[in-house]
Amino acid sequence: MSLVLSDCDSNSQNDEIYSLAKKSKHKVKIIKGNVDKKINKDNEEKDPLLINYNISKYEIVIFENKEDDVKDNLNLKNNRKYKNVGQTKYQIYNYNNEQNLPNKKNKQYETQQQQQQQQQQQQQQQQQQQQQQQQQQQQQQQQQQQQQQQQQQQQQQQQQQQQQQQQQYQQQQQQQQQQQQQQQQQQQQQQQQQQQQQQQQQQQQQQQQQQQQQQQQQQQQQQQQQQQQQQQQQQQQQQQQQQANKTHKIINKIKIYKLTQMILANKIFN
């Protein structure tokens, strides 16, 4: 959009022009009155909507003196015709050259306007064709994008399936490892049990050996006691024999002494 000159006095139409022009980067101005009048720069100062619009180079858009056409064109914002300002109902001129403003009473201007309108119509047709081609291209691009998205989705699904398969494979490996570990643990437990049993058997054998040794010691002690008793008995017997021998000797001596006494007595008596 650019500098806009309007012959319409309706505020609603001016508001629509401003609402459209605000979206552009160019300066906006509405001049009321006839088109062939000179531009009154006082309107720029009086118009509060021109504040903070500081662009030196801009264009003039001149509306034709038909309110209905202006209204219709302003109401066609939705089909993007406001982008084609200066091609259907409007004529664009350079603001820096005010002497080139058109005079509507000039037939040359009308023929030029008709030619320009024809050119504009051709341009519009070309633009429509281009738009159709662009739409077709956009549709093709959308289809391609959809296909790409589908391919990407398929790839993602394949990747997810591969990941799931890998996860399953890893889980299987982990399960196998766990089973192997459990088997190893069971084997270790069995070995430990066997070792414990062997230790118990060894302990039992040691206990039996100790018992046998104790029995042997007891037998030896008994034998020693018996030997001691036998020795004591032998000693007692020896002592008894010695005493008996002594008593026999004494008795014999007594007997001898008595005999000698008897013999002596007999001799004396005889």
Q: Which of 90-99, 114-123, 127-136, 187-196 has the lowest mean pLDDT?
A: 90-99
pLDDT in the model for residue 113: 66
Residue 74: domain span: 3-102
Mean of all residue pLDDT scores within the chain: 69
Distance from C-alpha of 91 to C-alpha of 74, rounded to nearest angstrom:
15
Q: Is residue 217 part of a domain?
A: no
Give the model's confidence band at 71: pLDDT under 50 very low, under 70 low, under 90 confident, else very high: very low
Q: Which of 4-18, 154-168, 181-195 has the lowest mean pLDDT?
A: 4-18
Q: Is residue 242 part of a domain?
A: no
Q: Is the pLDDT of residue 127 over 80?
A: yes
pLDDT in the model for residue 101: 39
Identify which has the larger pLDDT, 18 or 144.
144
Q: Is residue 119 part of a domain?
A: no
pLDDT tens digits for 17-70?
Answer: 445 445 544 444 443 333 333 334 444 444 433 332 322 223 334 333 334 344
Q: Rounded mean pLDDT of 102-129?
A: 69
From residue 90, how far is each of 64, 72, 142, 201 by CA, in Å? 7, 13, 35, 118
Q: Is residue 258 part of a domain?
A: no
Choose the most confident range, by mean pLDDT, from 111-125, 137-151, 180-194: 180-194
Identify which has the larger pLDDT, 92 or 43.
43
pLDDT in the model for residue 106: 44
Distance from C-alpha of 147 to C-alpha of 157, rounded to nearest angstrom:
15
pLDDT in the model for residue 211: 94
Our count of domains for the chain comes to 1
pLDDT in the model for residue 108: 53
Q: Is residue 96 part of a domain?
A: yes
pLDDT in the model for residue 112: 66
Q: Is residue 205 part of a domain?
A: no
Give the model's confidence band at 168: pLDDT under 50 very low, under 70 low, under 90 confident, else very high: very high
Q: Rounded mean pLDDT of 184-193?
A: 95
**DSSP E strand stretches across the chain:** 3-5, 59-63, 90-94
| Sheet with 90-94, edge to edge strand ranges | 3-5, 59-63, 90-94
Q: Is residue 221 part of a domain?
A: no
Q: Is residue 35 part of a domain?
A: yes
pLDDT tens digits for 207-260?
Answer: 999 999 999 999 999 988 888 888 888 888 888 888 888 888 888 888 888 888
- The per-residue DSSP string of 54-102 comes to --S--EEEEE-S-HHHHHHHHT-TTTTGGGGTTTSSEEEEETT-GGG--
